[in-house]
């Protein structure tokens, strides 16, 4: 009989204690890590490669729903069971889409049954989780077998390039496979579109300048804090310069 | 006719404001009726006003002073007494005019007394209808509906926390269950009467002890209540839901937690209660928040009418709720 490795994430110590006590009463499971929020859960999951994540929904910093989405990039993809004391909206969505969840206070038999039938989330179920989520707090980037979490507030700009999107922070660039339109909709309050292919965080814009582009035309560009590149502003967005 | 009708509370500023408003509105209507054309309107208003305002002023002072006596009478006797008083006040004003301005207004006086009696009846009928809309039975039902609103989130998380203690710290689990029992006893009781502030505060302490069980050092509370009058009377469960809000919106979303500050003091015969918590706009889930605030606002209104207020604002990254309740004599 193989041992099932489990990671639990809950911001409340008593809740983690309770889960730990219950898991101790179940055979063939091992608790490999305890996290206080979603971000910690993903970080620890990268190190401990658990088979199953028990994720509380409401956690600070990164909630369980977002953690579950980032967890899709983990190898091997862990099974996921959500835990919650009360969240009528989420529970309805879980029921409709056969997503595994446990209601707190959690009973031993229920936990046992849930562990036995736990499965990885299907793409359809991931899609069903989307509406439960506020804007993500992090973007997850799959890079050489690792998953990096980039906090949204460190992103200077997002630029679409052929198949990928370049995510630029003060330190470096990352590549993600998402659509710029979806990102624009999700983070409407965070970024502005300066160009057809580019979303920029207004906080990082320190000025505007008129420059000649390759076709020898005068064009406005945005100068950004901390990085040498500039972002060209399309004709349609030039009213932003005038407002500045 | 219901037996337990009550006279309007003539010691309440809101009641007097309404009387002023209704009577002046009727005076303006009368002026419109009396004016042949637009140019006559303002002089007519002024003319009527010169009579109406002194009567109003005398009535309000008189009724305010006599309210304790009037309130002891049966409802119908009280109504009759008020109408008689109003006629007396009107006559006094006319006598005064007659005496000092030597202006023969005898014929007018009878008419004015009749009008006063009618206007008084209209105002009293308005208060009767208003009281019926807020009648104890209906108000009680509404208060009940308004009160049973502790977050299920809190209930289940607390039970979960207590369960986690049973094996390792049975004594703490015992205390926690006792606190929960007390809290829910108050939440489920039919409490529409005012309670001493000290009682509400001890309930808040029990509630916060339970939250501390879950949130541990993330939850910090500062009480600035040195000048608090413990015997001030407030509606039950005014503070506790606000603390629950502060915990849910201000502490739980923060990885490091934060500080809730409760400040209670009196100033100018008013009790002020200020509760503030850390605020991060991106964590804002205002839907539930507005529910609890609306609830408390409505209950304050049922108890104090226009004399209480509840205001919220955000400053220096803190969200603040400020309640004012009349206090003292």
Q: Write the DSSP string, A99-164.
A: --EEESSPPHHHHHHHHHH--PPPHHHHHHHGGG--S-SEEEEEETTEEEEEEGGGEEEEEEETTE
| A17 neighbourhood in chain B, CB within 8 Å | 164, 168
Burial degree of B297 (CB within 10 A; 0-12, 13-18, 19+): middle
- ipTM of the prediction: 0.78
Convert the pLDDT of each residue in B239-275 to its tens digit. 998 999 899 999 999 999 999 999 999 988 899 999 9
Question: In the prediction, which pLDDT does A24 show?
Answer: 94
- Give me the phi and psi of B8, to 5 degrees please: -60, 150
CA B200/CA B232 separation, integer angstroms: 11
Mean pLDDT, residues B14-18 taken together: 88
Higher pLDDT, B254 or B191: B254
Contact between residue B214 and residue B253 where contact means Cβ atoms under 8 Å apart: no
| A36 neighbourhood in chain B, CB within 8 Å | 255
Q: What single-letter DSSP state applies at residue B4?
A: T
CA neighbours within 13 Å on the CB side: how many for B292?
Answer: 22
Contact between residue B264 and residue B273 where contact means Cβ atoms under 8 Å apart: yes
CB atoms A21 and B153 under 8 Å: no
Q: Please give the mean pLDDT across all residues of chain B.
A: 85
Question: In the prediction, which pLDDT does B3 show?
Answer: 47
- When computed from its CA atoms, the radius of gyration of chain A, rounded to whole angstroms, is 22
Compute the nearest-CA separation of B215 from chain A (Å): 6
> Token pair of B207, please?
């509630």
Question: In the prediction, which pLDDT does B176 show?
Answer: 93
| B153 neighbourhood in chain A, CB within 8 Å | 58, 85-87
Residue whose C-alpha is closest to residue A71's, from A121, A111, A27, A36: A121
> Token pair of B291, please?
């529910």
Report how many Cβ contacts below 8 Å link chain A to chain B.
59
Residue whose C-alpha is closest to residue B157's, from A110, A99, A13: A13
Q: Which helix (H) or strand (E) holds B60?
A: helix B38-70
Question: In the prediction, which pLDDT does B144 show?
Answer: 62
Instruction: Place B1 in a pLDDT band, splitting at 50, 70 and 90.
Output: very low
Residue of B nearest to A19 (CA): B164
Residue whose C-alpha is closest to residue B26's, from B131, B128, B116, B125: B116
- Give me the phi and psi of A232, to 5 degrees please: -70, 145
**Site from A40, A60, A203 to mutate, B interface, most B CB atoms within 10 angstroms:** A60
Question: In the prediction, which pLDDT does B2 show?
Answer: 44
Contact between residue A186 and residue A136 where contact means Cβ atoms under 8 Å apart: yes
**Site from B160, B213, B217, B254 to mutate, A interface, most A CB atoms within 10 angstroms:** B160
The separation between CA B192 and the C-alpha centre of its own chain, rounded to angstroms, equals 13
> Token pair of B289, please?
């928040």
Question: In the prediction, which pLDDT does B141 show?
Answer: 62
B253 touches chain A (CB under 8 A): yes
Strand B258-267 relative to strand B270-278, pairing: antiparallel
- What is the 3-state secondary structure of B64-78? HHHHHHHCCCCHHHH
A36 touches chain B (CB under 8 A): yes
**Site from B151, B172, B255 to mutate, A interface, most A CB atoms within 10 angstroms:** B255
Mean pLDDT, residues B46-51 taken together: 86
Q: How many beta carbons lie within 10 A of that of residue A114, not counting itself?
A: 19
Contact between residue B89 and residue B23 where contact means Cβ atoms under 8 Å apart: no
Q: In what order do the strands lie in the sheet with A155-161?
A: A173-176, A164-169, A155-161, A198-200, A192-195
Where b means 16+ CB within 10 Å and e means fewer, B140-175 reads eeebeebbeebbebbbbbbbbbbbbbeeeeeeebeb
- Asked whether residue B312 carries a pLDDT value surpassing 70, the answer given is yes
Residue of B nearest to A20 (CA): B164
Residue of A nearest to B213 (CA): A14
pLDDT < 70 stretches in chain A: 1, 244
Maximal CA-CA distance, chain B? 93
Mean pLDDT, residues B121-142 taken together: 77
Residue of B nearest to A87 (CA): B153
Report the share of chain B in percent with pLDDT over 90.
40
Higher pLDDT, B297 or B101: B297
Contact between residue B75 and residue B7 where contact means Cβ atoms under 8 Å apart: yes
CA B295/CA B322 separation, integer angstroms: 15
CA A122/CA B314 separation, integer angstroms: 42
CA A11/CA B168 separation, integer angstroms: 19
Contact between residue A203 and residue A152 where contact means Cβ atoms under 8 Å apart: no
Mean pLDDT, residues B165-172 taken together: 91
Residue of B nearest to A135 (CA): B282
- Asked whether residue B187 carries a pLDDT value surpassing 60, the answer given is yes
CB atoms B156 and A15 under 8 Å: no
Question: In the prediction, which pLDDT does B38 show?
Answer: 85
Compute the nearest-CA separation of B36 from chain A (Å): 57
CA B232/CA B326 separation, integer angstroms: 9
In chain B, which among 205-224 make CB contacts under 8 A with chain A? 213-216
Question: In the prediction, which pLDDT does B108 show?
Answer: 77
Question: In the prediction, which pLDDT does B329 show?
Answer: 47
In chain B, which among 124-183 make CB contacts under 8 A with chain A? 151-153, 155-157, 159-161, 163-165, 167-168
| A22 neighbourhood in chain B, CB within 8 Å | none
Question: In the prediction, which pLDDT does A159 show?
Answer: 94
| B163 neighbourhood in chain A, CB within 8 Å | 18, 105
Q: How many beta carbons lie within 10 A of that of residue A73, not counting itself?
A: 16
In sequence order, what are the residues at sequence separation of 6 or more whose Cβ sits closer than 8 angstroms to the Cβ of residue B188?
A: B148
| A104 neighbourhood in chain B, CB within 8 Å | 156-157, 159-160
Q: What single-letter DSSP state applies at residue A77?
A: P
Nearest CB to B255 within list A17, A60, A106: A60
Higher pLDDT, A61 or B151: A61
CB atoms A13 and B216 under 8 Å: yes
Convert the pLDDT of each residue in B93-110 to its tens digit. 888 877 777 665 566 788
Nearest CB to A85 within list B156, B165, B168: B156
Convert the pLDDT of each residue in B195-252 to its tens digit. 899 999 999 999 999 999 999 999 999 999 998 898 899 988 889 989 998 999 999 9
Q: What single-letter DSSP state applies at residue B281?
A: G
CB atoms B157 and A87 under 8 Å: no
Contact between residue A165 and residue A158 where contact means Cβ atoms under 8 Å apart: yes
Higher pLDDT, B51 or A15: A15
């Amino acid at each position: 009989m193989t041992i099932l490795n489990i990671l639990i994430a809950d911001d409340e110590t008593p809740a983690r204690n309770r889960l730990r006590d219950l898991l101790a009463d179940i055979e063939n499971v091992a608790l490999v890590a305890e996290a206080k929020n979603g971000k910690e859960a993903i970080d620890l999951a990268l190190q401990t490669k658990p088979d199953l994540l028990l994720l509380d929904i409401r956690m600070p910093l990164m909630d369980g729903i977002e953690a579950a989405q980032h967890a899709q990039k983990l190898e091997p993809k862990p099974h996921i069971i959500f835990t919650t004391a009360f969240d009528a909206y989420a529970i309805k969505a879980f029921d409709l889409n056969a997503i595994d969840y446990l209601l707190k206070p959690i009973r031993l038999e229920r936990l046992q049954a849930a562990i036995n039938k736990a499965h990885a989330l299907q793409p359809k179920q991931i899609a069903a989780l989307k509406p439960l989520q506020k804007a993500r707090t992090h973007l997850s980037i799959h890079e050489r077998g690792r998953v990096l979490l980039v906090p949204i507030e460190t992103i200077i700009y997002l630029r679409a390039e052929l198949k990928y999107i370049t995510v630029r922070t003060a330190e470096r660039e990352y590549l993600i496979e998402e659509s710029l339109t979806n990102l624009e909709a999700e983070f409407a309050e965070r970024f502005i579109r300066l160009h057809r292919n580019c979303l920029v965080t207004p906080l990082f814009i320190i000025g505007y300048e008129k420059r000649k582009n390759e076709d020898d035309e005068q064009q406005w560009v945005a100068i950004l804090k901390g990085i040498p590149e500039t972002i060209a502003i399309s004709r349609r967005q030039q009213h932003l310069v005038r407002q500045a | 006719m219901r037996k337990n009708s009550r006279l309007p509370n003539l010691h309440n500023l809101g009641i007097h404001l309404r009387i002023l408003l209704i009577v002046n509105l009727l005076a303006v209507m009368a002026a419109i009726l009396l004016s042949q054309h637009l140019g006559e309107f303002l002089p007519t208003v002024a003319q009527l006003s010169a009579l109406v305002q002194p009567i109003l002023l005398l009535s309000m002072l008189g009724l305010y002073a006599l309210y304790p006596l009037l309130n002891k009478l049966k409802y119908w006797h009280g109504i009759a007494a008020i109408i008689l008083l109003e006629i007396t006040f009107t006559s006094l004003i006319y006598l005064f005019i007659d005496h000092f301005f030597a202006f023969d207004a005898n014929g007018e006086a009878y008419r004015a007394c009749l009008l006063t009696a009618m206007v008084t009846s209209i105002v009293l009928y308005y208060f009767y209808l208003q009281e019926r809309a807020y009648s104890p039975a209906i108000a009680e039902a509404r208060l009940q509906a308004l009160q049973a609103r502790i977050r299920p989130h809190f209930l289940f998380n607390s039970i979960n926390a207590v369960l986690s203690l049973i094996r390792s710290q049975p004594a703490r689990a015992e205390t926690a269950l006792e606190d929960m029992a007390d809290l829910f006893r108050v939440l489920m009781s039919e409490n529409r009467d005012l309670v001493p502030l000290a009682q509400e505060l001890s309930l808040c302490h029990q509630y916060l002890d339970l939250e501390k069980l879950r949130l541990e050092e993330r939850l910090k509370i500062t009480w600035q209540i040195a000048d608090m009058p413990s015997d001030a009377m407030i509606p039950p469960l005014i503070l506790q839901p606000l603390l629950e809000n502060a915990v849910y919106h201000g502490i739980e979303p923060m990885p490091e937690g934060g500080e809730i500050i409760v400040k209670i003091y009196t100033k100018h015969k008013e009790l002020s209660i200020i509760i503030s918590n850390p605020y991060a706009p991106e964590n804002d889930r205002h839907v539930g928040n507005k529910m609890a605030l609306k609830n408390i606002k409505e209950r304050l209104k049922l108890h104090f009418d226009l004399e209480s207020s509840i205001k919220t604002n955000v400053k220096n990254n803190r969200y603040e709720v400020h309640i004012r309740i009349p206090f003292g004599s």
